[in-house]
A and B are shown apart, each in its own frame.
Chain A
Amino acid sequence: MSRQANESGILSARGVSKSFGGVAALHDVSFDVLPGEIHALVGENGAGKSTLVKIIAGALSPDAGEVLFKGDPFKPSDPGAAAEAGIGIVFQELPLIPDLTVAENVFFDRQPLTRVRTVARRRLRAECVEAFERFSLTGIDPEAQVRDLSVASRQLVAILKALAADPSLLVLDEATAALGPSEVTWLLEQVRAAAEAGVAVIYISHRLAEIADICQRLTVLRNGESVGSWRNGELESEELVRAILGRRLGQLYPGIPPTVKPKVMLETKGLRAGRRLRNLDLQVKEGEILGIAGLEGQGQLELILSLYGMLTSHGSIFVDGVEHRINSPRDALRAGIGLALVPEDRKTEGLLPTLTIRENLALPVLHRVSHLGYISSQKEAELVGPTIHRLNIGRQDPSQLAGDLSGGNQQKVVVGKFLISGARVLLLYDLTRGVDVGAKAEMFLTLNELAAEGYSMLFYSSDVTELVNVAHRIVVMFDGLVCADLLNDGSLDEEMIVAHMLNAADRTGVVGSLVR
């Protein structure tokens, strides 16, 4: 028994299989994590990572195989039992209780009690403040209600909750998906510190740069099977992408094509909106992908929303040299601006899942496919067909329900909607959040093709690596202004952009509100 524990580490899965209705989500998967090791689990959406996590958490039980925890067969009956055994899990979907305070959430199942078994509020608060200090997390009030926090802050609280329970195994399932760069840096520091203290970590992320940065070993899953385990650095990044995707696509980033033309397609002058967008001057040229970087909440969302008429704005907006007043999405569409947006709660807002692909695509252009007041299905098919074909959406069957598509394909429908609408400027807000590597690679190829056809794009992403590899030019936003405008001519890298983002914060002395 103890011999096995020494060999196989703190947690090992042995030949674990799990099927749902005859479809194998996991097939004969084995892997193990050593104490003090950060072990990354990578793979596309649907590769089986989350199923594996759920089995470890006790939310699912395997059909075959077993999980050993500290050398003993481990079958937690529910997530509570797993937590008691010393497994801390940060799930992809945030399982915090919105109506409770931060402190109550962090100590949810182990709140300090008074002698009459009521919650000892003062002690709870003190313990929470202590936990914040111990993990050097600042900028969040322990007394704040979770529902009032931003998604990123909520994610930080969920991570803190897992860390504060002093687990012997920490599982982070896409914990960075909602985080900005400085918060990711914080998380990676904490994870490293925990590992040095002997905690075993299973780290799941779509961001390969993070994985290269932090893990000692990685295991790749594909279609529910384990492709293999490697030490970090053993695989070149292309080899890793190939291991994740199979032979489908060779690389994640297709390279930045020279498609920028001199004509200015979108220009803002003195754009102001809400409290966060103060005075923004911006130019996007024809065929240009302009990346928008910045710490969370520096006016990026306000910029996108005001360009799309969802937020009342002041200042001037020019599209193709003509000034437009944009007070509603209808105005924006008329001016030739389309928006593909992935909102913060990860459910796509560009799509009606119970309608077909065709109905979704035609929604912004119904006036163009109708004749004498009714919708001509022939015109509709003529308009929609080429887009489905060209974006290579799903099985390319327009009568397929949009909700049955994979996340990446759903995003393509959202983009396709605005291509059909005749928009020449596309606003892409966190388009790739939570989308797997394969779908990302396809999405970037599509963006390149669109740029080559002269579409202009405003590309906001919380993933700096993505910006560096996709955008022609990157503007860094801080406090509602552009604080740096960087041409991505090959000399830029992630660190330089993050440095700009943080420098601006340092200069203006608002560091207190940020995670350091």
Chain B
Amino acid sequence: MKLAVPRRHRSIALAYLLLLVLVVVGRIVASGFLGVDHIDELIDEGALIGFVALGQGFVILAGGVDLSIPWVVTSAGILVTTFTGTNSSNMLWDVPLIIGLAAVVGLINGIGVVFLGVTPIIMTLGMSTVVEGALLLYTNGSAGGNVPHPAVFLATHKIGQVPVMGLAWLVLIVVVTFTLSCTPFGRRLYAVGLNRRVALFSGVDVKLVTCSVYVISSCAAAFAGIALAGYVGQSYLGMGDPYLFTSIAAVAIGGASILGGTGNYIGTVAGALTLSVLNALLPTLGFQPAVLDIVYGMVILVAVAAASLGGRARTD
């Protein structure tokens, strides 16, 4: 049988192949790997990466990058514990408020990139520092409070055999995939990422599209922060730190070009799960956490190098 994967989806198929290989390796070398409890954990951690990578994926697709994600995650996590505490009924108001605040951060990122012409790396890095400072002022340097029940429910409970967070992720996967492949916004986003000038010439509102990806990214990061607070049962400064690299790595492993214009969320899902499996597998093999960082770094570099080599082969 001939393998019928369209050219543009080949790198995504590759991401799933990588995931499969890791799972098989894990089953062979580590006993208890992928047991029933373990699978839930892999899905939950994959989902957290998947939430941040969702937003990062939109930004990268448009040809930018969002470095403000970690502190938006942290802020959302801390705000949800300090504002809301254990009083669940407040959450009805607080969650939209937190996500709204994040949207403002994203909007400022977008405005800076689009209207002030600041490069995305500098703009989002600057914003990240601003958010960090504001949060330190607000918390006086120490986070506290309790995680509200709905966040805990989202992050740790199950409906039947299925983790709630996994279900939430599934819903997001469907919505995002549909948005990217079947809506005018998705199509315009690809056009902007591939070539802004062509998009502009074709009547696409490039500024609006670019702005909106940063808003989406911050909102997704805030959602991830709330879920993360529920997952770890507390909030602390720096809780979002690991999610900068993982968000970019998940998108890169998922077959998207780091330069924008290609890839989709289905690939990013494979990237997020791959990272979550790596996360679980490396310690069981006796590697220290530091090794994990080395592996992450290598993975990103290899993915980016592969993407640029692939790009060169295409233009030759």
**A and B form one complex:** yes
**A contacts, CB < 8 Å to B:** 308, 310, 328-330, 332-333, 339, 341, 349-352, 354-355, 359, 362-364, 366-367, 370, 373-375, 401, 417, 421
Q: Is B2 an interface residue (CB 8 A)?
A: no
Are A354 and B194 also in contact (CB < 8 A) when A367-B184, A373-B183 are?
Answer: yes
Chain B 177-215 interface 0/1 with A at a Cβ cutoff of 8 Å (1 = within)? 010001110011011001101111111110000000000
Closest A residue, CB atoms, query B184: A366
Q: Assess the A374–B182 pair: CB atoms within 8 A.
A: yes
Are A333 and B197 also in contact (CB < 8 A) when A363-B191, A374-B182 are?
Answer: no
Chain B nearest CB from A193 CB (Å) reads 38
Q: Assess the A352–B183 pair: CB atoms within 8 A.
A: no
Chain B nearest CB from A168 CB (Å) reads 33
Closest B residue, CB atoms, query A399: B6
In the bound complex, what is the Cα–Cα distance between A241 and B81 (angstroms)? Answer: 78
Among B182, B194, B201, B261, contact of A329 (Cβ-Cβ < 8 Å): B201
Q: Assess the A352–B201 pair: CB atoms within 8 A.
A: no
**B contacts, CB < 8 Å to A:** 7-8, 178, 182-184, 187-188, 190-191, 194-195, 197-205, 261-262, 314
In the bound complex, what is the Cα–Cα distance between A341 and B195 (angstroms)? Answer: 15
Q: Assess the A355–B201 pair: CB atoms within 8 A.
A: no
Q: Assess the A364–B198 pair: CB atoms within 8 A.
A: no
Residues in B with CB closer than 8 Å to A310 are 200-201
Residues in B with CB closer than 8 Å to A329 are 200-203
Are A375 and B184 also in contact (CB < 8 A) when A349-B195, A352-B198, A354-B8 are?
Answer: yes
Q: What's the A-B contact tally at a CB cutoff of 8 Å? A: 66
Q: Assess the A341–B198 pair: CB atoms within 8 A.
A: no
Known interface pairs A310-B200, A349-B195, A366-B188; 5 further A-B residue pairs with C-beta atoms within 8 A, sorted by A's residue number = A330-B204, A349-B197, A349-B201, A352-B198, A374-B178
Chain A nearest CB from B257 CB (Å) reads 10
Q: Assess the A341–B201 pair: CB atoms within 8 A.
A: yes
Chain B nearest CB from A278 CB (Å) reads 25
Chain A nearest CB from B76 CB (Å) reads 28
Closest B residue, CB atoms, query A377: B182
Among B8, B182, B203, contact of A375 (Cβ-Cβ < 8 Å): B182
Chain B nearest CB from A478 CB (Å) reads 27
In the bound complex, what is the Cα–Cα distance between A320 and B103 (angstroms)? Answer: 43
Q: Assess the A363–B202 pair: CB atoms within 8 A.
A: yes
Q: Assess the A364–B178 pair: CB atoms within 8 A.
A: no
Q: Assess the A352–B200 pair: CB atoms within 8 A.
A: no
In the bound complex, what is the Cα–Cα distance between A332 and B204 (angstroms)? Answer: 12
Residues in A with CB closer than 8 Å to B8 are 354
In the bound complex, what is the Cα–Cα distance between A126 and B14 (angstroms)? Answer: 59
Closest B residue, CB atoms, query A368: B184
Q: Assess the B187–A363 pair: CB atoms within 8 A.
A: yes
Residues in B with CB closer than 8 Å to A333 are 203
Among B178, B194, B197, B204, contact of A355 (Cβ-Cβ < 8 Å): B194
Pull 30 A–B residue pairs with CB atoms less than 8 Å apart, ordered by A.
A329-B201, A330-B204, A339-B201, A349-B195, A350-B201, A350-B202, A351-B198, A352-B191, A352-B195, A352-B198, A354-B194, A355-B191, A355-B194, A359-B187, A362-B187, A363-B199, A363-B202, A363-B203, A364-B203, A366-B184, A366-B188, A367-B184, A370-B183, A373-B184, A374-B183, A375-B182, A375-B184, A375-B187, A401-B7, A417-B202
Q: Assess the A370–B202 pair: CB atoms within 8 A.
A: no
In the bound complex, what is the Cα–Cα distance between A421 and B7 (angstroms)? Answer: 29
SS class of chain B's interface: helix, strand, loop or mixed?
helix
Q: Assess the B203–A354 pair: CB atoms within 8 A.
A: no
Closest B residue, CB atoms, query A361: B202
Q: Assess the B198–A330 pair: CB atoms within 8 A.
A: no
Q: Assess the A421–B203 pair: CB atoms within 8 A.
A: yes
In the bound complex, what is the Cα–Cα distance between A349 and B201 (angstroms)? Answer: 8
Residues in B with CB closer than 8 Å to A401 are 7
Residues in A with CB closer than 8 Å to B178 are 374
Residues in B with CB closer than 8 Å to A366 are 184, 187-188
Chain B nearest CB from A136 CB (Å) reads 37
Chain B nearest CB from A472 CB (Å) reads 26
Q: Assess the A354–B198 pair: CB atoms within 8 A.
A: no
Chain B nearest CB from A310 CB (Å) reads 8
Chain B nearest CB from A331 CB (Å) reads 9
Chain B nearest CB from A400 CB (Å) reads 12
Q: Assess the B198–A350 pair: CB atoms within 8 A.
A: yes
From B194, B195, B261, name the one whose CB has the most chain A CB atoms within 10 angstroms.
B195
In the bound complex, what is the Cα–Cα distance between A341 and B198 (angstroms)? Answer: 10
Closest B residue, CB atoms, query A339: B201
Residues in A with CB closer than 8 Å to B203 are 329-330, 332-333, 363-364, 421
In the bound complex, what is the Cα–Cα distance between A333 and B190 (angstroms)? Answer: 20
Closest A residue, CB atoms, query B200: A329
In the bound complex, what is the Cα–Cα distance between A363 and B196 (angstroms)? Answer: 13
In the bound complex, what is the Cα–Cα distance between A260 and B17 (angstroms)? Answer: 61
In the bound complex, what is the Cα–Cα distance between A373 and B188 (angstroms)? Answer: 13
Chain B nearest CB from A179 CB (Å) reads 24
In the bound complex, what is the Cα–Cα distance between A347 and B77 (angstroms)? Answer: 48
- For the complex of A and B, the 10 pairs showing the least CB-CB separation, nearest first, are A366-B184, A363-B202, A333-B203, A374-B182, A364-B203, A364-B202, A330-B203, A352-B194, A370-B184, A329-B203
Closest A residue, CB atoms, query B186: A375
Q: Assess the B183–A355 pair: CB atoms within 8 A.
A: no
Closest B residue, CB atoms, query A351: B198
Residues in B with CB closer than 8 Å to A339 are 201
Chain A nearest CB from B94 CB (Å) reads 29
In the bound complex, what is the Cα–Cα distance between A364 and B190 (angstroms)? Answer: 13
In the bound complex, what is the Cα–Cα distance between A270 and B246 (angstroms)? Answer: 56
Chain A nearest CB from B157 CB (Å) reads 32
Chain A nearest CB from B138 CB (Å) reads 38
In the bound complex, what is the Cα–Cα distance between A370 and B186 (angstroms)? Answer: 12
Residues in A with CB closer than 8 Å to B183 are 370, 373-375
Residues in B with CB closer than 8 Å to A421 are 203
Q: Assess the B262–A354 pair: CB atoms within 8 A.
A: yes
Q: Assess the B182–A354 pair: CB atoms within 8 A.
A: no
In the bound complex, what is the Cα–Cα distance between A359 and B181 (angstroms)? Answer: 11
In the bound complex, what is the Cα–Cα distance between A308 and B203 (angstroms)? Answer: 10
In the bound complex, what is the Cα–Cα distance between A118 and B194 (angstroms)? Answer: 44
Closest B residue, CB atoms, query A363: B202
In the bound complex, what is the Cα–Cα distance between A403 and B203 (angstroms)? Answer: 21
Residues in A with CB closer than 8 Å to B314 are 354
In the bound complex, what is the Cα–Cα distance between A330 and B184 (angstroms)? Answer: 15
In the bound complex, what is the Cα–Cα distance between A351 and B200 (angstroms)? Answer: 11
Closest B residue, CB atoms, query A348: B198
Closest B residue, CB atoms, query A332: B203
Residues in A with CB closer than 8 Å to B195 are 349, 352
Residues in B with CB closer than 8 Å to A354 are 8, 194, 261-262, 314
In the bound complex, what is the Cα–Cα distance between A367 and B197 (angstroms)? Answer: 20
In the bound complex, what is the Cα–Cα distance between A373 and B314 (angstroms)? Answer: 33
Residues in A with CB closer than 8 Å to B202 are 329, 350, 363-364, 417
Residues in A with CB closer than 8 Å to B184 are 366-367, 370, 373, 375
Closest B residue, CB atoms, query A343: B197
Closest B residue, CB atoms, query A421: B203
From B183, B201, B261, name the one whose CB has the most chain A CB atoms within 10 angstroms.
B201
Chain B nearest CB from A271 CB (Å) reads 20
Chain B nearest CB from A312 CB (Å) reads 15
In the bound complex, what is the Cα–Cα distance between A359 and B178 (angstroms)? Answer: 16
In the bound complex, what is the Cα–Cα distance between A308 and B201 (angstroms)? Answer: 8
